[in-house]
Amino acid sequence: MNRLLMSKNGPALAGTIIGIIAALLVKFGNPGNMGVCVACFTRDVAGALGLHRAGVVQYLRPELAGFILGSFVSALLYREYRPRGGSSPMIRFGLGFFAMLGALVFLGCPWRAYLRLAGGDYNAFAGIAGLATGIAIGVIFLYRGFSLGAARQNPKASGYFMPLLAIALLALLIIKPIFGAEGTGPVFFSVKGPGSMHAPILISLGAGLLVGWLAQRSRFCTVGAIRDLIMLKDTHLFKGIVCFIVAAFLANVALGQFHAGFEKQPVAHTMQLWNFLGMVLSGLAFTLAGGCPGRMFIMSGEGDSDAGVFIMGMLVGAAFAHNFSLASSGAGVGAYGIPATITGLVFCLAVGTLFMNRVD
Amino acid sequence: METIKVDARGLSCPQPIVETKKVIDKLSGGRVEILVDTVTSRENVLRFGRNAGWKGSFEESEDSFKVILEK
């Protein structure tokens, strides 16, 4: 299995299995077309920790802890655990922040964009078109020498932070501490809305561990797939997302979860310009940072502190998105979602331009 | 034959490939050594080199990999 995952067909194999897992997680209770959504799950974690108070999106999603721990164990087993960091960490924090804002304007990360399509949500077309556009803009910067600088090797213990954080989040999920002044908190769990919809903990955690392992071995990346196709005409990661979409689509049909159309799709809106531009922002931010949000979780498990900082940016971005009314809802974009998207695009274009420093 | 060396250690995806591409696009043959520090970058550079028609191999040292492309 390891040899297969490491082969040129590895991402396709991983994509197929992850697509089926995603459809099954919906069957087991996750919100519609949200078997796996790295951005939505991070947003739910931010809510559960009280960083924002949007009552409908608060849950300590164990899938995310599984991604980190699955990758960590896999990296240790195959001698790929290499703590590293120090490549413009604050800029990466900012990229994570704005990648999250873009994802919450669209209502999904690249993983969920593909899963929404596989569930029949045609609004995903605008999002995926935006994602590809954002990635293409990022590729232009990469061709012009964009780099956030080289990371350095870090002491071995520096890579333990994210796996320990994952364990801490799992502990909070199980203990459910409640000693807040209002009889709730400090950890919050939605009683209605998407945050209240989740598969049983052990199934979610098991799925997360499996996805973490599969993605660590195969380098499955939902942004690198389009980037490498555009830049290098290299299809090996792209086959991964094609298989991911097809497998999730077939599993959705088999499970009676495929509902085609634009209207009344789960956790989605029909403002196509902002579906598109939200994902332009996300696609560009992920490309400048070097990979999709799932890949960031996987790399953080391998000991990459810069990926960990990016995730912290996502977490804080999610809190701001809800506290400042930037996130969309089924009704459409948030009150200040449009200026936030434009601000994020300006930030990413500025980063892309200012870090074109490796031109010969 | 002159060996061209590229230091791509610590660079994010896909910069090790971009750095390699910049060098081998100018060459019709020879030997290029690319230093990288993760298995992912090693595999990416090897796959890129082989797809471009170069023979690829690598050597492992304590904290990095030397990918060798020859044609």
Tens-place pLDDT, residues A297-350: 999 999 999 999 999 999 999 999 999 999 999 999 999 999 999 999 999 999
Question: Before B14, cis peptide (omega within 30)?
Answer: yes
pLDDT at A297: 98
Assess whether pLDDT exceeds 60 at residue A359: no
Measured between CB atoms, which of A153, A234, A360 is closest to B63? Answer: A153
Assess whether pLDDT exceeds 70 at residue A293: yes
State chain B's mean pLDDT as an integer. 93
Assess whether pLDDT exceeds 80 at residue A30: yes
Instruction: Using CA coordinates, name the residue in chain B closest to A356.
Output: B15
A198 touches chain B (CB under 8 A): no
Place A179 in a pLDDT band, splitting at 50, 70 and 90.
confident
- A79–chain B nearest CA distance, Å: 9
The DSSP element (H or E) to which A181 belongs, if any, is none
Chain A residues 57-116 with a CB less than 8 Å from chain B: 78, 80, 82, 84, 86-87
Assess whether pLDDT exceeds 60 at residue A7: yes
B11 touches chain A (CB under 8 A): yes
A77-87 pLDDT, tens digit each: 999 999 999 99
The predicted model scores a pTM of: 0.96
- Amino acid sitting at position B60: E
State chain A's mean pLDDT as an integer. 96
- Mean pLDDT throughout B37-52? 94
Whether the complex's predicted ipTM is more than 0.85 is answered with: yes
B43 touches chain A (CB under 8 A): yes
Instruction: Using CA coordinates, name the residue in chain A closest to B40.
Output: A219
- Mean pLDDT throughout A39-58? 96
Tell me the DSSP string of B28-71: SS-EEEEEESSHHHHHHHHHHHHHTT-EEEEEE-SS-EEEEEE-
Assess whether pLDDT exceeds 50 at residue A125: yes
Question: Is B12 in contact with A290 (Cβ distance < 8 A)?
Answer: yes
Looking at per-residue pLDDT, the higher value among A358 and A45 belongs to A45
Q: Out of 3.30.110.40, 3.30.1130.10, 3.40.190.10, 1.10.1740.10, which CATH number does the structure's domain B3-70 have?
A: 3.30.110.40
Q: Under 8 Å CB-to-CB from A239, ≥6 apart: which residues?
A: A9, A11, A12, A15
Bridge partner residues of B35 (DSSP): B7, B66
- Percent of chain A scored above 70 by pLDDT? 99
pLDDT at A144: 93
Question: Is A152 in contact with B10 (Cβ distance < 8 A)?
Answer: yes
Measured between CB atoms, which of A82, A142, A360 is closest to B37? Answer: A82
pLDDT at B63: 85
pLDDT at A259: 96
- B19–chain A nearest CA distance, Å: 9
In our burial notation (b when 16+ CB lie closer than 10 A, e otherwise), range A10-36 reads: bbbbbbbbbbbbbbbbbbeebbbbbbb
Please give the structure tokens belonging to residue A76. Answer: 């240790």
Assess whether pLDDT exceeds 90 at residue A231: yes
Question: What phi, psi does A322 have (nearest 5°)?
Answer: -85, -40
pLDDT at A360: 44
List the domain boundaries for chain B. Answer: 3-70
